[in-house]
Structure 1
Amino acid sequence: MKVRKIGIVSLSSGMLGEAFVAHERELGLRRLQELGLEVVYLPNALKGLDYLDQHPEARAEDLLAAFSDPSLDLILCAIGGLDSYRLLPALFAEQQLEQALTPKIFLGFSDTTINHLMLQKLGLPSFYGQAFLPDICELAPEMLPYTRSYFETLVQTGKIEEIRPSSLWYQERTDFSLAGLGQSMPSYPNQGFLHLQGPATFKGPILGGCLESLYEILAGDRFPDQAQLCQDYQLFPSLEDWSGKILLLETSEEKANPAKFARMLSRLKDYGLFEVVSGLLFGKPQDQAYMEDYSALRYKQYVLY
C-alpha cells in the first residue's frame, strides 16, 4: 500500500493551531508535499490549545471523520499531550469509532498511546511512531535521517519490516522559535540495543507505548476521572490480550525520576503484565536522563521479579 494522502489530526494537545508554531507547520507541510503527498488538516486540527482543551468531542469528531474518509491513506497525529482519554465517550458510548473504522495507517506516539489502545481494542493494528510537529517539522535543515528513513518506508510500502537502532542520539531541542529554524541539535554516537536480562531473543506482536500514559490509565494520578473512565470503557487490554506480546515502553519528556519510574513499572507488574508478555523492549530515555538508574539491577529486581 503506497500512501498518497495524509490527514493530520490533533487528538490531544491543540498546539498545532497556535501562531507560535506557524513556521514549524509550514516547514512540515512543505516536506510532506516534497515527498509527493497530499496533506489535509481535519476540520478541528488547527483550532488551538484552548478550544481543543474545552472540546474533546471536536477532537473525536476529527478522528471519526478521518477514518470515514476513503481518500485518506494515513492518519498522522500532530503531537502528544495529556488527556486523549477524554475522547472515550465520544468514540465508544454508541460504538461511534467501531462504525467509522476503515483500514488505514494510524501514526503517532506519546499520549497517542491512548488512541493506539482504542484501535487495538477494535482489532485495528497501528504504528507507534512519528508525529507531525516533533518529527516531520523538526527545525534542522532536513528531517533527521533515521526519522526520514522509516517514515519514507512506511508511506512507500505501508509497512515496517525491521527496526534497527539509530547510529546517533540527539540532545533535545530547547529553542523551537523561528530563530531555531535551520539549527541542528547536538548528536552523539548511539550504543545500539542493550541486553539487560533474560533471553536475548524473544518474539510476539508489539503492544504498548508511553509508560506514563499506561500508568495513568490504571492509577489516574493526573486527572481524577481518568482511571474510572478508562475502566468504564475497558481501555486497558486484558491479560489475555497482553499474553505473548512484546511490551513496548518509553518514558515521556517529563523524565520521571527513578522512584516514580519504579512506581509506574510496579503498577504494571501488579496488573500481571510481566507474567504474560514474552519480552520487554524499552526506548532510550530522552537525553539519556536517568538511563543508568532505569536499567540498574536494583530497579529491575524491585520491579520485575
Structure 2
Amino acid sequence: MIKTVEIVSLSSGIIGEAVAAHELKIGIERLKSMGLQVKFSKHALKGIDYIKGHPEDRAADLIEAYADSEVDMILCAIGGDDTYRLLPYLFEDDRLKNVVNEKPFLGFSDTTMNHFMLHKLGIKTFYGQSFLADICELENEMLPYTGKFFKELITTEMIKEVRPSDVWYEERTEFDESQIGVPRVKHQNTGFELLQGTSVFSGKILGGCIESIYDIFNNDRYSDSIELCKKYELFPTLDDWRGRILLLESSEEKPSPEMYEKMLLALKKYGVFDVVSGVLVGKPMDETYAEEYKNLLVKTIASPELPVLFNINIGHATPRCIIPFGTYATVDADKQLIIFE
C-alpha cells in the first residue's frame, strides 16, 4: 500500500506556473482524499524557465526521491520534450544506480526516456499516467477508467490486467478555471483492434511515446539528443528487445502520416520489428489519423506474422490505463485482455 507519493518535474516545469495553480490544488486534494501523503521534490514547483535551464536539478530530484525511504512512489508531474538532458547527471559516477529501488515510478510521454533510463538499471516501471494530465483532471472526479488503474496501483503496487475502456474522450482545448467541473465530450470506444498476426502473444512490455523514441535517432528537435542517448546507451540493444512487446503511442502533436512513417522507419532500420514478439499501439488523441496510422503500421513493419494490436487506451488519448514495464504480459486480442503475471 502506497502512503507517500513524491511528485517530480523531470520534463516540463508547468506545475509551478500560476496558470496551473487551480489544477495543482485539485490534484493535491484528490491525492489526499485517497489517503496519500503528498510531497513535491525540491525543484518541482520552480516553473518552466527554471526547470528548462536546470537539468541537473531535475536529476537531483529523481535521485533524492529514490533515496528517500519515506517516499513509496514517484509520480511524474507531466511530460515535456527534453528529459534526455538528465542523462549525464544521472549516469556519471553511477549516481542513479546507487539509489534506485523497486518503488513504483509512474509517468508517460517524454517520460519514456526516464523509463528507458530505469530499464537500463534493471528497474521495473509503470507507464501511462501523470499528475497534471490525470490526477488534476478538471471534471469533478478523475475519469473512471483512469482512476480505476491509479487506485489499483496505489493499493496493490501492481496492475493485474488491462481491458479496453467503454468510452473515449475528446481532448480539452481549454484548461483554465472556467473548465472546472465541465465534462469532456465522450464517444463509444471500439476496443482493441488486431491489425495483423496471431491474436495471442506474450513478453515483457517496453516502449512509450514514438516522438520521444524518435529523438534518440534524430536531432531535429535538439541538436545533441542522438549524441547523448548514444553515449549513455539509452536505447536497448536488439538482444534486450528480443521477445519483448513494443509499446508505441503518439503525442498531442498529432504527427502527420508522413512523420509517423518516418518514425516507424527509424525503428525498422534499427531492427526492433525483427526481434519483438508483438506491438501494442495506443489510441491516437481524438482518433486523429487513426486509419492512416493503421495502414502505415502494416505497410512499414512489413512482417504480416508480427502481431500488431491497435487502439489500446494508453498514451495521449483519454482515458488512460497503466501498463507495467518489465512484467511478463500475455495479450489476447480475442478476449480483449492483457494479463500481467
TM-score, length-normalised on structure 2? 0.88
Distance 1:282 1:15, change over 3 A: same
Question: 1:116-147: CA deviations, max 9, x gaps?
Answer: 00000000000002100000001011100001
| Partner SS, residue 107 of structure 1 | strand
Q: Deviations over 1:206-250 (max 9, x none)?
A: 000000111111122210000000000000000011000000010
Aligned residue number for residue 158 of structure 1: 157
Question: Which residue is 2:251 aligned to?
Answer: 252
Question: How far, CA to CA, are the matches of 1:134 and 1:218 in structure 2?
Answer: 27
Contact kept, 8 Å, 1:16 with 1:133, in 2: the verdict is: yes
SS at match of 1:97: coil
SS in structure 1 opposite 2:217?
helix
- Aligned AA for 2:294? S
1:29 paired residue number: 28
**Residue matched to 2:43:** 44
Indicate the residue corresponding to 1:281 in structure 2.
Answer: 280
- Aligned-partner residue type, residue 226 of structure 1: S
Q: Displacement of 1:299 after TM fit?
A: 5.1
Cα distance in structure 1, aligned partners of 2:297 and 2:119: 30
Q: Deviations over 1:13-57 (max 9, x none)?
A: 000100110000000100000000001000100000000111010
Q: Hey, what does 1:203 align to over in structure 2?
A: 202
Percent sequence identity over matched residues?
52
Aligned partner of 2:261 in structure 1 is 262
Q: Does 1:300 align with 2:298?
A: yes
Contact 2:208–2:247 (Cα < 8 Å) also in 1? yes
CA RMSD of aligned residues (A): 0.8
Residue 246 of structure 2: SS of its match in structure 1?
strand
Measure how far apart 1:161 and its partner are. 1.1
Distance (whole Å) between structure 2 residues aligned to residue 22 and residue 30 of structure 1: 12
Deviation at 1:286, TM superposition (A): 0.2
Q: Return the structure number with greater relative CO, CA threshold 8 A, min gap 6.
A: 2
Gaps of 5+ in 1: none
Partner of residue 185, structure 1: 184
Runs of 4+ in 1 over 2 A off after TM superposition: 302-305
Residue aligning to 1:68 = 67
Equivalence for 2:328: none
Give the superposition deviation at 1:302.
3.2
Which structure is higher in strand share? 2
Q: Greater share of helix residues, 1 or 2? A: 1
Instruction: Say if 1:211 and 1:264, in contact at 8 Å, map to a contact too.
Output: yes
Partner of 1:145: 144
2: CA distance, partners of 1:179 / 1:45: 25
Q: Helix, strand or coil for the counterpart of 1:3?
A: coil
- Runs of 5+ unmatched residues, structure 2: 304-341
Contact 1:79 / 1:132 at 8 angstroms: preserved in 2? yes
> For 2:93, what is the secondary structure of its paired residue?
coil
Q: What's the secondary structure of 1:8's corresponding residue?
A: strand
- Pairing 1:13–2:12 present: yes
Q: Which amino acid aligns with 1:253?
A: E
Instruction: Verify the 8 A CA contact 2:170 2:186 in the aligned structure 1.
Output: yes
**Distance in 1 between the 2:239 and 2:297 partners?**
26
Distance 1:137 1:174, change over 3 A: same
What is the CA deviation profile of residues 89-116 of structure 1, one whole-angstrom value per residue up to 9, with x for unaligned ones? 1000111000111220000000000000
Please tell me whether the aligned partners of residues 209 and 251 of structure 2 are also in contact (alpha carbons under 8 angstroms).
yes
| Residue identity opposite 1:304 in structure 2 | A
Q: Distance in 2 between matches of 1:72 and 1:270?
A: 41
The answer to whether the aligner puts 1:116 opposite 2:115 as a matched pair is yes
Q: Distance in 2 between matches of 1:227 and 1:87?
A: 14
**Given residue 232 of structure 1, which amino acid in structure 2 is its aligned partner?**
K
Which is further off, 62-71 or 211-220? 211-220
